[in-house]
Amino acid sequence: MRWRWIPPLTADAGLQMAIDRWMLQQQCVGQGDPMLRLYQWNRPTLSLGRHQRQIDPRWIALAEQGRLHLVRRPSGGRAVLHAGELTYALACRPATTHRLTAYAEACQWLQVAFAALGVPLEFGSVKAAEAAQRGNCFASGTAADLVQANGAKRIGSAQLWSGACLLQHGSVLLSPPQDLWREVFNSPAPNLEPLPQAAVMAELQRAARDHLCSGALQTVALSAREWQQIQLLEDAAPLG
């Protein structure tokens, strides 16, 4: 099956989340091919998981100071600091709705890409219930996450299912800002060697083409009509 690659975009939080909700919506109504994209945020942003209700007072203070933007993701999981990273989003109708199997299949291309970069990744082993007690997504690695040999988490992923349709988000850490990370989470950033953005993006696209999309990955930019649909979703979405 052919997949659609939406060209990378740097934009604000509201627009990025609206695009991702639109991607899932298109799968649910049977419009178009499965979709994949990589993107970045135009300012440091903390995204909160769909069901995350406890908001640290530090986050609110940083947002009020204009140093951090808050947004709620459509997907689950805990808080993610979007700075010094790449975010990926894929929307499709997987062959299985078994959650862990779907995670494994949807993350294989990420493992292939990082192996090619000389950074092999494995799934984490922390129980989901334990990870849910922490506000910071990168404080622990579950079976939905990819960690390095030293135990540091490189990629955190989360899902939203609508029937048999899946939206999967993931944050790929490149060089997280140590000072801001400590201010946000009161802990050091994961112990990761910095990786160059251009090389990571190129390897991710190559791995997606060969190991997620079976070679059928076609670049198709968003049309004017699609941007109009996305704008409606952005206008209707609550932030914070």
Q: And the tokens for 237?
A: 């979405």
> How many Cβ atoms sit within 10 Å of the Cβ of residue 172?
22
Q: Which residues pair with 146 in a beta bridge?
A: 123, 155
On the CB side of 130, how many CA atoms lie within 13 Å of its CA? 10
**28 catalytic per annotation:** no
Tell me which of 28, 92, 107, 137 is the catalytic residue.
Answer: 137
Say how far apart CA 37 and CA 19 lie, in whole Å. 10
Residues with active-site annotation? 137
